Amino acid sequence: MPSQRWVRIIPVALVMYTIAYVDRTNISLALPAMSRQLQMDPEQAGSAAGIFFWGYLLLQVPGGYLARHWSAKRLIGLLLVLWGGCAVGSGLVQTERQFQIARLLLGVAEGGVFPATLVLLTNWFAKAERAQANAYWMLCQPLAIILSAPISGWILGRWDWRVLLIAEGALPFVWLVVWTLGIEDHPEQARWLNPSERESIIRILDREAAESGGDFKPRILSILFQPLVWLLIGVYFLLNCGGYGFLFWLPSAIARAGKLSSLSIGLLYSVPYIAAGLIMVLHSRHSDRTGERHRHVALPLAVAGASLSAAVIASGHLPVLGFALICLACAGPYAAIAPFWAVPAERLPRHVAGPAMGFINAIGALGGYFGPLVVGTLVKRFGDFRYAFGALSAGLLTAAGLALIAGRHPKNIGQLAE
């Protein structure tokens, strides 16, 4: 019988962040129609889509701190309301400037959710389970595309992009009720948890906190300026450049490749993310089984970079092979992300892990702005996606190298900060 923690915490967090990811990314399908109606060229559209991440960085460190020292449950509940309002507002805009403001505010509202959820999972799952717990929760990212892309394509075909953004933007208000009733911050607060399981997980987490310096209280700033933290920021920045540059522009690239309906584009768009979800779970299980993290980050990023380069070469002559390589390239950043977030949780003292993860996510997430912008700029200049996807490929290969370098740094970073 599965542990009660896995069947209670993970599904509620998974659906919550799936909704967040849908509200963040559904403009990828809406972008062609929005660009025409709001009179945006590819560079302007890429900037407007990615400006979300400038707002997103504001609550990363405060979000991690409040989740650790106040309540992850209450913080995320508040943010559900705020991002729902901003997501609905995105469907009401009339100009490019209004769209940029709406996306920026949506980023602010969603900004604290990611570090708060990471803190919540570290309160519930031990080191040996963490990459797998992260992977199951982060399935929200490919799952959001798999589930929403066909539905979004159908809505676009039947109505328009405004109906799409407003309808999907209202989902956080529905899930707020489930979140409030289903989640607790710590195992000791959960009356639904089996007493023996509660005592066991509390004992394990307390022991791990002591082993990682639970009584050691380094200054947060001394941790944030460690080389390992900045290497992780570099990896995550380039991972997001590749992942979001690809995600926001793939529907437009598919649309250019042939005359397809909105529903057909949505269905094709979802295929790479099905592969990503499967690979993500299998890869994270192997990382937990071996206890190794850095090579499990580097390998999928390297494969993604190489596959994207090969897809650019093959797409003109062998479109089926090109699409298969795109599916493999799409899976790389998702496979890397679960073991990636196990690294700061395991190598930083528990006292600063939440703010540090927020800091890494804040700066690294800006790749989600620059990736779509670079793609839009290169498409505007050269007229197709080959050079743009080639640039994303180079970034993913560089991220793989940085992940390997990060793995060579001392294991106990807490002692470096004394």
Using DSSP, state whether 8 is helix, strand or coil: helix
Q: How much is the pLDDT for 350?
A: 64
- The two three-digit tokens of residue 1, written as one number: 């019988």
Domain count, the chain: 1
User: Does the pLDDT of residue 274 top 70, yes or no?
Assistant: yes
Which of 16-20, 172-176, 292-296, 405-409 has the lowest average pLDDT?
A: 405-409
Q: How much is the pLDDT for 251?
A: 65
The answer to whether residue 417 is domain-embedded is no
Q: Which residue has the higher pLDDT, 405 or 354?
A: 405
Distance CA 392, CA 246 (A): 8
Taking only the tens place, the pLDDT of each residue in 131-188 is 678 777 777 777 777 788 788 888 888 888 899 999 999 999 999 999 999 898 888 8
Q: How much is the pLDDT for 1?
A: 47
Taking only the tens place, the pLDDT of each residue in 90-100 is 889 888 889 88
The answer to whether residue 416 is domain-embedded is no
First to last CA, the chain: 44
Q: Which residue has the tokens 């409040």?
A: 66
Q: Which residue has the higher pLDDT, 322 or 14?
A: 14
User: Does the pLDDT of residue 413 top 80, yes or no?
Assistant: no
The answer to whether residue 333 is domain-embedded is yes
Q: How confident is the model at residue 261 (pLDDT cuts 50, 70, 90)?
A: low
User: Does the pLDDT of residue 224 top 70, yes or no?
Assistant: no
Please report the DSSP string for 164-223 in residue order: HHHHHHTHHHHHHHHHHHH--SSGGG-TTS-HHHHHHHHHHHHHHHHHTTTT----HHHH
CA angle in degrees (0–180, nearest 5) for 407-120-414: 40
The chain-wide mean pLDDT, for the chain, equals: 81
Q: How much is the pLDDT for 212?
A: 58
Q: How much is the pLDDT for 233?
A: 93
CATH number at residue 361: 1.20.1250.20
Q: How much is the pLDDT for 299?
A: 93
Domain range for 170 is: 4-410
* Region 95-121 average pLDDT: 88
The answer to whether residue 390 is domain-embedded is yes
The answer to whether residue 76 is domain-embedded is yes
Per the rule left: phi > 0, alpha: psi between -120 and 50, beta: everything else, 35 is alpha
User: Does the pLDDT of residue 244 top 60, yes or no?
Assistant: yes
- The two three-digit tokens of residue 182, written as one number: 């289903």
Distance CA 48, CA 231 (A): 28
Q: How confident is the model at residue 221 (pLDDT cuts 50, 70, 90)?
A: low
* Region 101-108 average pLDDT: 90
User: Does the pLDDT of residue 296 top 50, yes or no?
Assistant: yes
The answer to whether residue 105 is domain-embedded is yes
Distance CA 263, CA 150 (A): 6
The answer to whether residue 328 is domain-embedded is yes
CB 229 within 8 A of CB 345: no
Q: At what angle do helices 27-38 and 42-50 cross, to 10 degrees?
A: 130
The answer to whether residue 403 is domain-embedded is yes
